[in-house]
Amino acid sequence: MSMDKETVRKVASLANIEMDEAELERAAAQISGIIDWVEQLGAVNTDNIEPLANVANIELSLRADSITDGNYQDKILANAPEHTQGFFVVPKIVEQQS
Amino acid sequence: MAYLTQGETGEWETVIGMEIHAQITANSKLFSGASTLFGAEPNTQVSIVDAAMPGMLPVLNAYCVEQAVRTGLGLNAKINHTSVFERKNYFYPDLPQGYQISQFLHPIVGEGRIEIDLEGGKVKEIGITRLHLEQDAGKSVHDLHPSKSFVDLNRSGCALMEIVSEPDINSPEEAVAYLSKLRMILRYLGTCDGNMEEGSMRADVNISVRKPGDGLGTRAEIKNVNSLKAVQQAIDYEVARQIEIIEGGGKIVQETRLWDPNKGVTRSMRSKEEAHDYRYFPDPDLLPLHIQADWIAGIKETLPELPDQKKHRFIGEYGLSPYDAGVLIAERNRAAFFEAVAKGRDPKLAANWVINELLGILNKNATALDDSPISAAQLGALIDLIADNTISGKIAKDVFPLMYETGKDAGQIVEEKGLKQVTDTGAIEAVIDSIIAANPDNVAAYRGGKDKLFGFFVGQVMKETQGKANPAAVNDLLKKKLDA
C-alpha cells in the first residue's frame, strides 16, 4: 500500500501540522516505505489467534476511588502563555466540538 | 396512534436516537486521583495527568468501572467481559491531551432496553445500543472577554458514561419520557446524580424525518440539548426545519447542529466532514479491561429495586393507582418516605397525604423532601389520629400546616388547640337537640320531604362543635332524631 500526497495532506491537517508541497512529497514517500515494511507482517497467518495486547501477560491495573491528587493550580498554570483568575486564556473559540 | 407531522406534501414520521452523557458519581476522576466535586475554583481539581503533562500515565478507577457495570445491569444490558479503551483524536483547547480516552469498537456494556411511560399509562420499550466509558473534557468560558476564551480543566478527566439508544424514539414526548426514565434509573442506581443544570447529564439528539413506510432519512445530530424542555423544543424545531427543506426540494445534510436555547433554533456547527475523522486507535497506555463474572455477580447483588419494579409493586401490594404509584416512585427517597408512612396504615390514605398534602406544601415552599419539617413518622402519627377517630380528616388538614410550621407532633397540636374529636354521643346529642329546638321550620320542612336539609343540620352541628364532632356519629344521631 502506498500513501499518496493527498492523504498525507489530510492527515497533516487533522494533526494540525503545516507542511509545504515539497514536505508532503517527501513524507508521502517515507510513510509509504514504512507502511510497506510493516505490511510484511500481513504474510503471517493469524487465523484463530487472539489479538495480543501485551507480551508479559499482565492485567490492566486499577486504583481505588480516592482523592489523592490536585489542588495545585499554580503548577497547572505554570507553563500557560497566558492565564487569569485561575483560567487558561486562549484565543476566542466560538464553536464547540466533540 | 403514531406521532406524525403534517407537511405540505403529506404526513411525516420522526425518527430519533439519543446519546446521553452521564457523569459517573465517584470521588475521583476516571484516570487520576483529582476530585470531581462541582463548583471548585478553576483548575484546582486538576492533576498533572488531567493536564496531560508529558509522560503521565492514566490509571483506571475501579469504582467507575463498577458504576458502569451497575448501570448496564440497571438497563437490562449485556456486560462485556472484555472492553478496550481507545483514543478519539481531535483538537480543542479544553482537551489538553489532544485526544479523549473513550471506548469505540469494544464498549464495556452492550445491548439493553428500558421501558418508557407515555400518556394514558402506555408503555414503550426503547432499545439501548451500548454504554461506554470515556473522559469528560474541560470547560471553556466564552463570555468573559471579547477576544479570548477561558479554560477550566476541573471537569477534564471526570468519568462519563455515554449511553446510546436505538432509533426507537418517534416523538418529542417519547424523547422526554426516555430522558426522564433514564435519569430516574441512574439516580436509583446512584451512578449519576442526573443534575442537568450542573451538566451531570447532557443529551445529544439524532433526528431524521421520513414518509411513513420509507427507509431512514438523513439525520442531523443536535448537541447541547441540556434540559427536558430543550429536548422538546429542539426536536419540534428540527423536525419542522427538515420537512421544510425536503418539501422545498432540498436535501438534508448529515451534520452536527447546536441547539441555541436563547434563540430557540438549531444551527450548523460548520461541519467539515473531516471534523468527524477521529482516527480512533487502541490507547497504548491502557491494556484491555477484563471483568470477571464473579465481580459482575457481586455488583448485581447491590442493585436496588428499580423504578419499574417498584411501581408495579406499589400498584400490586398497596392497591395504588398507576398515576399515584408513578408520582411516588419518581424519586427513590420519596418512595421510601411513602413506605415509611404506609407501614401498618391504610396505604391509599398514606399516598393521598404524601402526594396531595406533603408534596404540595413542600412544592409551595420550594423545599426538598429531605428537608421536610414533617418526618414520615410524624405524618404517620397524624394519619393514626384520623384512623382512631381522635380527629376528623377535615381537622387533620388544619393540623397539618401547623405541623409544617412548627415541626411539632400532631398529637401535641391537637392537645394544645383542643381539637380532639367529640365522640361522646351524649355531648353530640345535646348539641343536636338544641339545634332541632332552634330550627323548627327546617325540621318541619325536612320531615316534609326536603332531604337536602340534612346537610344543613350536619353543618350546624359541626359549626357548634367547631368541627370536632365525629362526622359518623353526627350522621347517625341526626338521622335517628330527625327521622324519629
Q: Choose the closest CB to B63 out of A59, A65, A90.
A: A65
C-alpha cell at B223: 448537541
Lowest mean pLDDT among A8-22, A58-72, B286-300, B418-432: B418-432
With H, G, I as helix, E, B as strand and everything else as coil, classify residue B209: strand
pLDDT in tens, B111-162: 999 999 898 878 899 999 999 999 999 999 988 899 999 999 999 999 999 9
What is chain B's mean pLDDT, rounded?
92
Smallest Cα distance from B20 to chain A, Å:
13
What number is the average pLDDT over the span A81-87? 96
Chain A residues with CB under 8 Å of B275 CB are 97
**Candidates B59, B64, B149, partner chain A, best to mutate (most A CBs within 10 A):** B149
Q: Which residue has the cell 482537551?
A: B95
Partners of residue B468 on adjacent β-strands: none
Helix (H) or strand (E) holding A46: none
Cβ-based neighbours of B185, under 8 Å, separated by 6 or more: B71, B74, B75, B114, B306, B307
Burial class of residue B143 in the structure, from the number of CB atoms within 10 Å of its CB (0-12 exposed, 13-18 middle, 19+ buried) = exposed
Contact in structure between B383 and B345 (CB atoms under 8 Å)? yes
Lowest mean pLDDT among B15-24, B142-151, B389-398: B389-398
* CA B238-B244-B250 angle, 5° bins: 110
User: What is the predicted ipTM?
Assistant: 0.88
Please, where are the H alpha helices in B34-141? Answer: 62-74
Integer Cα distance of B234 and B172 in angstroms? 9
What number is the average pLDDT over the span B178-183? 96
In the predicted structure, residue B1 carries a pLDDT above the cut 50? no
In the predicted structure, residue A96 carries a pLDDT above the cut 70? no
Smallest Cα distance from A26 to chain B, Å:
23
Query: What is the CB neighbour count within 10 angstroms for residue A57?
Result: 7
**By a Cβ cutoff of 8 Å, what residues of chain A touch chain B?**
10, 13-14, 16, 53-54, 58-73, 75-77, 82, 84-98
pLDDT in tens, B44-54: 999 999 999 99
The pLDDT, as a whole number, for residue B270 is: 63
Please, where are the H alpha helices in B44-93? Answer: 62-74
Cβ-based neighbours of A23, under 8 Å, separated by 6 or more: none
Q: Band of the pLDDT at A98, cuts 50, 70, 90?
A: very low
Nearest chain A residue (CA) to B41 = A86
Cβ-based neighbours of B326, under 8 Å, separated by 6 or more: B117, B311
pLDDT in tens, B287-338: 999 999 999 999 999 999 999 999 999 999 999 998 899 999 999 999 999 9
The pLDDT, as a whole number, for residue B451 is: 83
Integer Cα distance of B192 and B203 in angstroms? 14
Backbone angles phi, psi at B148, to 5 degrees: -125, 150
The pLDDT, as a whole number, for residue A97 is: 44
The pLDDT, as a whole number, for residue A1 is: 62
Q: Choose the closest CB to B59 out of A61, A66, A91.
A: A61
Q: Choose the closest CB to B28 out of A66, A77, A88.
A: A66
Partner-chain contact A97 B275, CB within 8 Å: yes
A61 half-sphere exposure, CB direction, 13 A CA radius = 7
pLDDT in tens, B270-289: 654 556 689 999 999 999 99
CA dist B468 → A39, B162, B307, B316, B456 (Å): 94, 59, 41, 36, 17
Contact in structure between B391 and B399 (CB atoms under 8 Å)? yes
Chain B residues with CB under 8 Å of A69 CB are 28, 32-34, 47-49
**Candidates B19, B23, B43, partner chain A, best to mutate (most A CBs within 10 A):** B43
C-alpha cell at B136: 469528560
pLDDT in tens, B355-384: 999 999 999 999 999 999 999 999 999 999
Integer Cα distance of B112 and B74 in angstroms? 9
Burial class of residue B38 in the structure, from the number of CB atoms within 10 Å of its CB (0-12 exposed, 13-18 middle, 19+ buried) = middle
Q: Band of the pLDDT at B33, cuts 50, 70, 90?
A: very high
Say how many residues make up chain A.
98
The pLDDT, as a whole number, for residue A95 is: 55
